[in-house]
Amino acid sequence: MTLLAVERIKLFTTRSPWWCTLIALVLTIGFGALMAGTSEENIAPLTIAATQFGYTFGLVVVMVMAALAITTEYRFSTIRATFLAVPNRPTALIAKATVVAVLAAIVGEIAAFGSWGIARLMKPNVDLAINTAYEWRAVAGVGLVYGISAVVAVAVGVLLRHSAGAIAVLLIWNQLVEPLVQLIPKVGDDIHKWLPFNVANKLITGNPDPSTRDVLQGPPPSDAVLGPWPALAAFAGFAVVLFGIALVVANRRDA
């Protein structure tokens, strides 16, 4: 518990988490408001999925925050003091990842329910009640995806140790590599179905109710072959493996 408290204090005494949290909330909730304001009943109806259109943009910002939480320590060499105070390096890094993941999950839930809430305020006559399992996943599932993605970002930060490099890898993979893989002839679509962030997106967009999920509304539907909850488990497994590799590397090299 002491380590968790220390990591919490370290995280919140820097500016980047506060700015990233603000930007993530403004982006996601702002897109929710935009979708509500531009919706038309017969052309682009407002749905639960549509209110979460901006969740991927907030995800990018949350991963930047998570990467900075660890790379900033390497940049200013405060990680050395951390490892001197806690010789068991994996324990210190696990505590940091836990705090960052919890913050990311909270930001995700606030962003998701905030986007849904502002849409309801703007369009009170539209039925946006959260009733089905899909609708609950589409909103409440955002926090789960954000939290696990934060662990992935911390792992990348530990492996690369440079803010620019870690952020570049995360953004390029999430925004370019995964979508462009589909362009590979013959095998591109098959590979894309198993890529981590596409798999994670299955929780948010998978198995929608035919009456409430238009493919043109909300985040792009995932083509992952797994069901929503197995997909989340697979994404969590990916995060655990990557973070485990990061712990081994951090334990073997100089701080």
Please enumerate in sequence order all residues whose Cβ is within 8 A of that of 95, keeping only pairs 6 or more positions apart, or say none.
3, 4, 6, 7
Cβ proximity of 111 and 55 under 8 Å: yes
Global pTM value: 0.92
What average pLDDT is seen over the chain?
88
**pLDDT tens-place string over residues 95-133:** 999 999 999 999 999 999 999 999 999 888 888 888 888
> Phi, psi (5° rounding) for residue 54?
-90, 10
Cβ proximity of 147 and 232 under 8 Å: no
What number of other Cβ atoms are within 10 A of residue 144's Cβ? 20
**pLDDT tens-place string over residues 203-252:** 998 776 555 555 556 677 888 888 899 999 999 999 999 999 999 998 88
Residue-range domain boundaries for the chain:
2-252
**pLDDT tens-place string over residues 33-92:** 998 888 776 666 788 888 898 899 999 999 999 999 999 998 888 888 888 888 888 999
